[in-house]
Structures are given as structure tokens and as C-alpha cells.
A and B are shown apart, each in its own frame.
Chain A
Amino acid sequence: MTQVEPEETQPHLLVKGWVPPSLDRDFTVVGKPVNRIDAPEKVTGRARYAGDMKLPNMLHAKILRSPYSHARIKRVDTGEAARLHGVRAILTKDNTRGWSTLWYWVPQPAFPEVVTFVGQEVAVVAADDIDTARSAVNKIEVEYEKLPAVFDVQDALKNDAPRVLVDDSDAKEGNIFGSNPSVLSRGDINEGFKAADFVVEGTYKTPFQYPGSLQTRTCVAQWDGSRLTVYESCQGVWEVREQLARSLGLEPRAIRVVTKYQGGGFGGKGGAQRFVHYAAKLSMMTKRPVRLEFDRAEEFFLHPRRSAALAHFKSGVRKDGTLTAMYARVVLNIGSGGNYGRVPYDAIMLPHTLYRCPNTYFEQLGVHTNLQYSGPVRSPTMMIAVSCLEAHVDEVAEAVGLDPIDFRLLNYNPYADQERRTRFSSKSLDKAMKSVADAIGWERRRQYAHSPRSGPRRRGLGMATYMYHGVGLPPYEANADVIIRRDGTCELHAGVTDIGTGSATALSMIAAEELGVEMDDVQIAYGDTDSARFASPSMGSRVIPEMGPAVLQAAAEARNRLFAVVAPTLQVPVGELRSAGGYIYPASNPSRRVAFKDACRELDQGSPVAGHGSRAPNPGSFPRKPNTDPMSFATFGAAAAEVEVDVETGEVRVLRTATAHEFGRVINPKLSASQHYGGVLMGLGFALLEEPLSDGRTGAMLNPDLHQYRMPTSLESPEMTPINIEGEDSYFAYSAKGAGEAIDTGVPAAIRNAVHNATGVWLREYPMTSDRVLSAIKKKEREELKTDKPSAEP
């Protein structure tokens, strides 16, 4: 192992250009439990979502979908459909040749010659009303030539397996994304296993998971002859604008995209996807506004879902508990495609980084099947990585007789790159582990494991840890502007979409803090490409770490310009002025204050003062080149769960959870608690309930509904303790990093490990539905009867 001294750079706020010095006073807004600013509109029904837009002469569009999982489209006859009264336009592959749409950023023909999953788009009709559109869809005749299909990854990896993407260069040979596995390694894995006293291995399965947003994806596109306006339900208005511009051959400035309110995104509403392209094209063809809304089934199978995984883990460990070797092969079922094939290291980055281990070999394969696209859903592949790794690590800890937390601390890795020994900008995972252990009452774990197993309901405790990005993503282009007007209004212009996380509230708080005004004095314009400069989409926990510094810079600059206006009056230099709670005062004499609003009156009517902020990139490059260019910015966290398992029915109840996330600093504890609660429930659904099932012969999804695709209800909700681990990280605005994605990741393995504590059974397949749990318990009981050996106590 070569040790290289990391380059020392002075931590500094990640912005372009200069930031006025900090006000150097206690916070007046940040850290306070402020209500979300859009709550009144939302709870009173005044908020107008994309689906609420009713424009004059608006047409309604409906999509015709493939009934087959793999078929060549020989002929599409729209004759009869087009003759239907009220039908205004129909799009098929025949009248859109050469037109490319974007799936996230992957260019794709607008309509395929060969459909590769049930539900893929074959045609779209725009009509005067939705009934007519639906009737027309039913009248389109399509002749298909059925092709052999494959749904299971192991089948898809066989030599004679049908090729899923015949025309796609992504899969040159066979069905492996990029034709080869992605590999991360260090040291010598064989030597590592030789040095081990115990070798522990297991194969883990994780399911596809859906975002399950309450609002199905909807847009209204309006072409007025020179400009396209799209009311969308997307996660990033700028991203959609850029994608539409590329696809439709328009100048980006000829497109306006608006998403003010969003009924959930969770990754699924990233990008324009094909449906927005269709609505826009239909509007341009008919010169009328076009509305396209998914029904619930479409929301399931036309949006991306999390890949399913089959992961084999094998670790070598010494008697004292130190890891000597770690190996994993993670096979992802990515369906007919998915941009997450393009992040080829995501499922193995975590096992490569989380523990100190000199010898590792990890490989990840994305495998194409004739199922729907896969893509981002809250911690896309990190959820898979944590759920498998942290399940496996508990088995390793048990093999050496160590408490799972002791084992994790023993093998704790403080480095971003273990070989070069580079540090993270901050890492408090040990603190996170200890906090969840304290909160859940970890000391009871031994008692549960060793208590006599009487009665059918048994309790157990489990935990898991995670690492997640949450520090911004390339191109790190986030811009914010603050304008202070003569009437005392402070406008914040931020080009992000608030997908329900409360980012508009949090960014307003940062502006208010830095301006020294009350929250109510800040008016934020967001979710509209006409109201702000470029910002990246809301995904990857990037909004606060990426926009935060830009907003802080813009506010500080605007504030200092106002200071310059009032400095002569107060007879102190600008650098000695402070502001807080709506007043400006000299640092040395706070009683000589002027109201912020009075100061604003000195501004000219037509010349407000403004400040501008722009995010600078994180040091280091991206995509990460593992081993040579270590990630040194991240967030960390831990989850613990207490469960009660009914060993006679297999039912698992999660009684309580504790989740600790390293935020840097929490801008708003109410909003951060929401992320903990939502993360726990999404993790609980993944752990125990949510599983889409497809018919093995046709590949058709059998439960595209909220009834049998079971998401947790309030009755499944445990008592949840959210814990925020705070600490300094000067790269970010007030040290604040992201939190939206990651908190769900630790929950499934924590629940799974708790089930083992309660029952002595290792479950290796998620979700741990009652039938699986019961079958596993009964299997163990029968095996024990057969071998007549006493039940193994952990």
C-alpha cells in the first residue's frame, strides 16, 4: 500500500468569485423549525399542479402501448383512428422517422421499430377529449412479429439468450451493459482469503422498486407558433428545457418549463422522458395546447424503477474480526435500458469504500432483459449496495462472535481512498452508529438473542450504515440571484424545482439568514425557467449542497451592496455593519440600528441592489475514477430498527427506528425530520412489502396498482427517531449537505438484521414478505428437527 500525502487545500465555500465575509453572529433563521412556505397553498387546494392547468382549446393525448415484451412492429395502421371525429393528430414511428427523444440523457428513437417491453409506446393520439383519444388508440391496428424474450438475468446471461437490444450499441454482444463488468479492486484478493480464519458468503436478492409518487406524471404543452411553454411535473425544469430543445430542434430560449408544485418525484420524474416530447410535438403539430397524463398503471410501467439485483458477497476475516478480503459480484437487472447502466460503479463503490480491507475485488454487471426501463429511485443503486453489504457484514460479524457495531468500528475506514489515504471533507459515521444505538436501546440486543424462545412473537434489534454522495454533482452549475427592492422586498431567484422536500423553504432561509431579514421578507421565484438562471434538477441530494452556496453568495453580495448605501448614514465602514432580524447595525454598537426596510428606502425606485451567486465545482473530477481519483466528499449515516416477528405467521412489525444522518448542518429541523420519516417508510416498504411481479411468460406486470404493489400505510409506520449529526464542513453553506436520498438506504438491512436477532434466521431476499419469512423459519425448524441439533443462538 503506497501512502501519498493528500494535497492540502484550505476549505472554502464552493462558489465562483468572492463572497463577503460571514456576518459572524448567531443564526436567527437557520436551524429553526420553520413551516414550509408552500404549505398553505397545498393544504387549501390553491396550489395548481401541472394536472390542474386547463387551457382554452386544450387537446388530450393518450398513448398506445405494446402488449408484447419483444416484437418487431411490422405495420401501424392509423386510418380508422384518424377518421374518428375529434382526433387531431397521431404520432407513430412512420411519421416521426429520425426524431430522437431523450430518456434521461440517452437519445432514443421517439418510437421503436422493435418494442422491448410490455407497455412500451407505439403511438400517441391527441383528440378533443380523453374519451375520443382513448377510442382512437383502440382503433389503431398494429401488426407485430413476436420475438423471443428474456426476463431473468441468469437466463439473459446464457450464450443462447435472446438479444434484448438488437440495435443498441450499448450492448455490443450479449445482454451485458457495455459488454463487460465494471470492476473495483485493490490488493490481492486471493492472498486476502488465504490470510482469513473464516470465510463467509451469501447471495442476496433485492427487488425492483418504484417511486410510487402520489401525483402521476402529467404535462400540458402549449406551442404558440414561436414559443413552447410546458407545465410539467418534473424534477428539473432546466433539464427538461434542454432535452426538449435538443429533441425538437428549438433554441432553448424558445422553451419555458414550469413546475411549481410536485406531488412526489423520488427520482422517477427526472428528465423529460418520452411523454413530454410527445405532448410538445403534438402541440406543435396541432397549434393547440396538449395535455398528457399517465394513469396509475402507466405511472408504474412507463417510469423508471430501481433495478433488481442478485448479489453474491464473500468475505475473509481474521479471528480478531479484521477483514482480510472482500469480494462481490452484483448483477443488476436493468430491463430494456436505463441511465443507471451508465453509472457502472454505483453498486460496488460502497463495499469498496465503507470498510477497511486491504484486498478487494468487486464487479458489477448491468444486464438487459425484456422488462421496462430501470432508473433512479431514491438512492438508486446505493439502496441495493447497502441492503446487501450491510446484511452480509452482520453475518461476518456473527462468524467471529462480534457485536455488529463493534465489528463495524473495528473495521472502520476513515479514508476516502484507502491506498492513498485521502480524507473526506468530513465523516462522522462512528458518531452516527453510536447515536442510533443509544436511541434504539442497543444493549437489549444480546438479551433478545439469548432470551428463551417461547411464544410466537419475538423481538430483535438490527442496524446498518451507509455512505451517500449528497454533496452536489457535475456540472455543479447552480446559480442564484437576490434582488433587494426599495419597498424592502428581497427576491430570491433560484432555478430549482421543489419536489416536495421543502427546498424552496430551505433556500429562502439561507437567503434570509445571510440578508439578516425575517423569512417573510424573502420572496422566492423557483420552478420556472423564465424566473431564474440555470440550476440542476432536484435529485441526488444536490439542492442544498449545490444551491446553498450560490444562494448564500448572492444574498451576501446583495446585502453588502445595501450596506454600502447605508454605511454613510450610520457612519461606519461596510465591513463593520451587521444585519439580523430585519435590522442593520454596527457590530460594535447594535443599539444604533436602522430597520432593513428603512435602509431600502434609500434605494432608487428603478435601481434595486442585486447579488449573484454561482456554485464552483467540488475539487476532484467526475465521473469518479476509482483508485486514482477518490471521492472525498460524502454524507454518512446509520439506521437501527426494532422488530417483532410472529414466527407462526411470518409477519414482521417494525416497532421503532432510529436514523442518524450526517447533514453538516440542518437548515430546518422540520424538513430534515420529513426526510427521515419518508426515508424510513420507503426503506420499510423495500424491506417488507414492495415487489412488482411480472408474469413469467409474457413479462406483463401483474400489480401496477397501489393495492397489490404494497407501499406501507400509516399502520406500518413505526415510532421513528430522527437524529441529525452536525459538524463543520466549510465547503458548504453553513456546512449544510444533502439528505433527501440517503436515509432510506440503511433501513432494509437494519430490519433484516433485526429479524435475525429475533428469530436466528438470515433472510437473504428482499422484500421479507410474511410468506418468505414464514417459509424460512419453517425450513430452519425442519432442518433442526432433521439433524436433531439445538437451535443456533447468535
Chain B
Amino acid sequence: MLNELPPVEHIDARSVSEAARLLAKHGPRARVIAGGTDLLGLMKDRVEGESMPLPDLLVNTKGISDMGVIRLKDDGGLQIGANVTLAEIQVSELVKERFDILRQACESVATPQIRNVATVAGNLCQRPWCWYFRQPAFDCFKKGGRLCYAITGEHQYYFSVMGLGVCIAAHPSDLAPSLVALGASVTVVDQNDRRVIPLDEFFTGPRQRFENVLRSDEIIVDIDVPSQADGTRGVYLKSRPRHSWDFALASSAVLLDVSDGRCERARVVMGGLAPYPYRSRAAEDVLKGKAVDEHSAKEAAREAMNDAKGLPMNRYKLDLGRTIVRRAILAAAGTVRD
């Protein structure tokens, strides 16, 4: 194929500190590359603008071995290296035993080929899959322009119905809703420092050029998933136009801790419906202390979508979102209908 990459320098970093040093030295035109499934496509398609220059340096972190391991922590939590691939999470026994919702989320991503190289941090940091953003001809808000073309244009699929702002692209990550539900955080390093950002503070809103708070000189080194109470069950459900290689029209990550027939703790997070993983505390409150059944699940799903507005071409997402949330709740409670 002819879609050549623009000329770019590529350096294999041998350590996190070397990578951080390179990023600090070269500024915003340097970019971290691991799986590259999103970044290389953006570069080949020349998706650029004032706030997203084409990179002239790629700092490759794939060779940094620490970043590629999944580790069970002493407290029962999980530390996932930023460069662990989605395929590795899919087959990890550690993940399957206690964090199966993550495996489900990974399984739903793209295609086997992409999952073999795409990394967990890359999945969280991927750019919007809005077709205006991805087309070089439109200098949209995310690239540094002033307008969102999708609001008045075509917005059937990967667009928001909640948390609307300047940009209406829905956050595309399948892993984010599950990781937010699990209460995960990311560890981020720059050349001087290290900070831990809880994922529910990591993603920004529709009025920001970038979808997260990561600075251009920072690298995610790992993702920290806290231990879950015994009996916690999680389900990730996703509706998409095509059964493979498609992002969510609506998705839902639901974690339930049910004992003696009552819901002790609930986490309800949605994907594909808002510019960031959208957690609904209102839906969680509906479930808390109750038996999870058709009735409460339906009620919680209605609450979850309570703030949804819908645009002319995506109003169907209101019905769809409610269905996906309700089904995920029932599946997590083990009372799957049909």
C-alpha cells in the first residue's frame, strides 16, 4: 500500500527515564509509540492541525521490559504495564480470575491482529474516531480549529448523547469504562517526577483539545487496578454496527457486589455515549441495597440515561443505551434474560 508515513525519526528508548528525557527535550512534536495502531494511522493520513502537529520523533517504549508485565500485587490488586497488549490481557489467568470484566472489554476491541499489538495505555489514549477529525480536510476543534463539524453534519455512529460540549465525539475506548468501574488509576512519569492519576480524573471533557490530562512530556507506565471485594461480578457489553473492528455505539461496564440477594455496591459506567467514560452514580444509587431484577435494572438504566439529549441523527442511542445498561446489570447479577 502506498500510504507512506511522513519522514520521522524513531528512537528505541531503553528505559522509562530515557524516554521521558527524550519527550522533554523534543517537546510536543515527539510522541510515544508502542502498539502504534492509532498513531501510525493518524500520521499516514496526515491528520494534523495547530494543536496536533505531525510528530517528527517517535520514542519507542516497546523495548522497556518493565512496561510489558501484568503483576498481582500483595493486596490482591493488579498492576498492568502500559505496554501489555490487549491480547495478553485476554489470555491472562490473573485477569480472568478476578477482573474478568477487563478480559471482556479487551475481547470486544477491533480485530485479533490489532489486539496482538495494541496496548492497554494506547487504548486509553487513542484519539476520537470522529470521521471529521480523521479527515485531513476538516480542521476541527480537536486539531486546533474552532468548530465541531459533526454537530451540524453526520453524527450517526461514534458520537455522544451525553456530556455534550464543543466536540461531540464519543470516547472510543472499550477498556476505559471497565477500568473506571474497577476504580483503576494510571501511573504517569515525566523526566523529574511520577504521579498517580485516578482514571475518573484522567479523562477530560468536550471543551478540551485532548481527551485526557496527560501532558506531552509524560508517559503512562502502568495501570493500577485495586483489589475487588469477593463476590464482585463484572460485565462489559457493547453494541456496534459490525461484529468485528468497530467501536461502541453504546457500551456499558457494570460491576456488582451482591450478597444475600442485595446489591452492596454497584458501578455503572458507559462508553460510546459521551466524550469520556460516563459513570452514572444515579444508576448506582438505584441499585444499592436492592435486589437486582428486571425492575431495578430497568429503573437504573433509565436513570443512567437521564441526562441524555440525543442529536438529530443519534436519538436511537437513548433507547440503545438504556438496553445495554439494563442488560449489563442483569448479566452482572447473573439473571440474564433470554
Bitwise, A663-700 to B at CB < 8 A (1) or not (0) is 00000000000000000000000000100010111101
**CB < 8 Å neighbour of B2 from A130, A698, A716, A769:** A130
Alpha-carbon distance A15/B321, docked complex (angstroms): 63
Residues on B with C-beta less than 8 A from A713 are 242-245
A702 near B154 with CB under 8 A, answer: yes
Alpha-carbon distance A391/B324, docked complex (angstroms): 31
Within 8 A of B (CB), among A174-197: none
B131 near A648 with CB under 8 A, answer: no
**CB < 8 Å neighbour of B316 from A457, A650, A714:** A650
Q: With both chains docked as a complex, state the minimum distance between the C-beta of A78 and any C-beta of chain B, in angstroms.
A: 21
Chain A residue with minimal CB distance to B3? A295
Alpha-carbon distance A455/B243, docked complex (angstroms): 21
Q: With both chains docked as a complex, state the minimum distance between the C-beta of A290 and any C-beta of chain B, in angstroms.
A: 14
Contact residues of B: prevailing secondary structure: loop
Report if A651-B239 is in contact (Cβ < 8 Å); known contacts: A293-B2, A702-B154.
Answer: yes
A456 near B338 with CB under 8 A, answer: yes
A702 near B320 with CB under 8 A, answer: no
**CB < 8 Å neighbour of A778 from B239, B243, B316, B337:** B316
Chain A residue with minimal CB distance to B44? A295
Residues on A with C-beta less than 8 A from B157 are 708, 771
A696 near B153 with CB under 8 A, answer: yes
Residues on A with C-beta less than 8 A from B99 are none
Alpha-carbon distance A650/B2, docked complex (angstroms): 37
B260 contacts chain A at the CB level, 8 A cutoff: no
Chain A residue with minimal CB distance to B153? A695
Residues on A with C-beta less than 8 A from B129 are 708
Bitwise, B310-323 to A at CB < 8 A (1) or not (0) is 00001111011001
B231 contacts chain A at the CB level, 8 A cutoff: no
Q: With both chains docked as a complex, state the minimum distance between the C-beta of A716 and any C-beta of chain B, in angstroms.
A: 6
Alpha-carbon distance A584/B100, docked complex (angstroms): 70
Within 8 A of B (CB), among A294-317: 294-296
A626 contacts chain B at the CB level, 8 A cutoff: no
B243 near A715 with CB under 8 A, answer: yes
B244 near A695 with CB under 8 A, answer: no
Residues on A with C-beta less than 8 A from B2 are 130, 216, 293-295
**CB < 8 Å neighbour of B4 from A130, A689, A778:** A130
**CB < 8 Å neighbour of A296 from B1, B153, B249, B324:** B1
Residues on A with C-beta less than 8 A from B317 are 771
A712 contacts chain B at the CB level, 8 A cutoff: yes
Residues on A with C-beta less than 8 A from B132 are 695, 702
Residues on B with C-beta less than 8 A from A771 are 156-157, 241, 249, 314, 316-317, 320
**Among A296, A650, A696, A771, which residue has the most Cβ atoms of chain B within 10 A?**
A771
Within 8 A of B (CB), among A423-457: 455-457
Within 8 A of B (CB), among A616-672: 648-651
Residues on B with C-beta less than 8 A from A648 are 319-320, 323, 327
Report if A693-B338 is in contact (Cβ < 8 Å); known contacts: A294-B2, A650-B316, A703-B131.
Answer: no
A296 near B319 with CB under 8 A, answer: no
Chain B residue with minimal CB distance to A700? B137
A494 contacts chain B at the CB level, 8 A cutoff: no
A296 near B323 with CB under 8 A, answer: no
Q: With both chains docked as a complex, state the minimum distance between the C-beta of B41 and any C-beta of chain A, in angstroms.
A: 9
Q: With both chains docked as a complex, state the minimum distance between the C-beta of A464 and any C-beta of chain B, in angstroms.
A: 23
Chain B residue with minimal CB distance to A694? B154
Bitwise, A749-783 to B at CB < 8 A (1) or not (0) is 00000000000000000000111001100100000
A500 contacts chain B at the CB level, 8 A cutoff: no
A582 contacts chain B at the CB level, 8 A cutoff: no
A158 contacts chain B at the CB level, 8 A cutoff: no
B137 near A216 with CB under 8 A, answer: no
Within 8 A of A (CB), among B322-338: 323-324, 327, 337-338
Residues on B with C-beta less than 8 A from A770 are 239, 241, 249, 320
Alpha-carbon distance A296/B319, docked complex (angstroms): 35
Residues on A with C-beta less than 8 A from B3 are 295-296
**Among B2, B149, B317, which residue has the most Cβ atoms of chain A within 10 A?**
B2
B7 near A710 with CB under 8 A, answer: no
A710 near B320 with CB under 8 A, answer: no
A455-B338, A650-B316 are known; give 8 further A-B pairs, CB within 8 A: A296-B3, A455-B337, A456-B338, A648-B327, A689-B242, A712-B242, A715-B242, A775-B316
List 29 contacting pairs A-B, 8 Å CB cutoff, sorted by A.
A67-B137, A134-B4, A216-B1, A216-B2, A293-B2, A296-B3, A648-B319, A648-B323, A649-B239, A651-B239, A695-B153, A695-B154, A696-B153, A700-B138, A702-B153, A703-B131, A710-B242, A710-B246, A715-B244, A716-B243, A769-B156, A770-B241, A770-B320, A771-B156, A771-B241, A771-B314, A771-B316, A774-B319, A775-B315
User: Which B residues contact A (CB, under 8 angstroms)?
Assistant: 1-4, 7, 129, 131-132, 134-135, 137-138, 149, 152-154, 156-157, 239, 241-246, 249, 314-317, 319-320, 323-324, 327, 337-338
Closest 4 CB pairs of A and B: A715-B243, A702-B131, A648-B323, A455-B338
